Amino acid sequence: MNDHLRAALTRARLTTTDIAARLAVDPKTVDRWLHGRTPYQRHRWALADLLDLDEADLWPDLTPSDHPANPELQAVYPHRWMVPRTVWRRHFERATQHIDILTYSGLFLAEDTGLLHLLAPQARAGVHIRILLGDPDSPAVAARGQEEGIGPDVMAARVHNAITLYRPLAAVDGIDLRLHRTTLYNSLYRADDHLLINPHIHATPAAKAPVIHLHTTGDDGATTTYLDSYNRIWTSAAPVS
């Protein structure tokens, strides 16, 4: 019996059915976890992330070989659509210094009014927020539309919609909105030293691509490499007129 996991679910007011739906597993699988079976590593990461706990809080008896070789790696979601909304919300809510977004449209965030409404209060509380969207007239946006199979016009329209939804935030002190013309290999969503990475996979919509959660452990890790890339793109991007 895993009393640690059971107590965590009770505190979060989540049932086995809730967890099964959010992790895309069978409820019987969650029952087996509660009765002591150790989940696969990717499920442990995702469940710990969902409950905002460390893996060791839920499975304190894991041996060193059970833990990821890279301590930065917190969770892996097979598809972006599998990342619970509560994870996105908690990700941005936890920021006290920096929120950085890099994508072509980020329309799934822009259309989520609740998540979007988090950003202005964060900025007023002193969080520096930078949002980088694709220039809808750029070749990179057109190429990404072709890669996803939706065509350049549809991708450009998605970016225009995102700009419209994000634009009011540009009037808030502490929030900067720019357009880039860079070919992206990943969309990045940073909250201080936590980073959600959505790789761009050829012929695959971003919603079906994985999401990787990294937590920086120093100045020479993978998180820093991604953030250095973000800063280079930011420098060459143009403010939204």
| Domain of residue 207, residue span | 81-239
Domain total in the chain: 2
Query: Are 22 and 128 in a shared domain?
Result: no
The residue among 70 and 157 whose pLDDT is bigger is: 157
Query: Are 89 and 207 in a shared domain?
Result: yes
Query: If 0-12 CB within 10 Å is exposed, 13-18 middle and 19+ buried, where does residue 201 land?
Result: middle
Dist. CA 206–CA 150, nearest whole Å: 12
What is the CATH number for 30?
A: 1.10.260
Domain final position from 25, 45, 67: 67
Residue 108, pLDDT score: 95
* pLDDT at 68 exceeding the cut of 80: no
Question: Comparing C-alpha atoms, which of 109, 102, 46 is closest to residue 74?
Answer: 46
User: Which range (15-19, 96-100, 140-144, 236-240) has the least confidence?
Assistant: 15-19
The residue among 164 and 75 whose pLDDT is bigger is: 164
Dist. CA 155–CA 17, nearest whole Å: 36
Query: Are 62 and 159 in a shared domain?
Result: no
The stretch 170-182 carries a mean pLDDT of: 96
Query: Are 63 and 140 in a shared domain?
Result: no
Query: Are 44 and 96 in a shared domain?
Result: no
Residue 183, pLDDT score: 96
Query: Are 131 and 180 in a shared domain?
Result: yes
Query: Are 159 and 202 in a shared domain?
Result: yes
Query: Are 101 and 188 in a shared domain?
Result: yes
**pTM (two decimals):** 0.77
Does any domain span residue 73? no
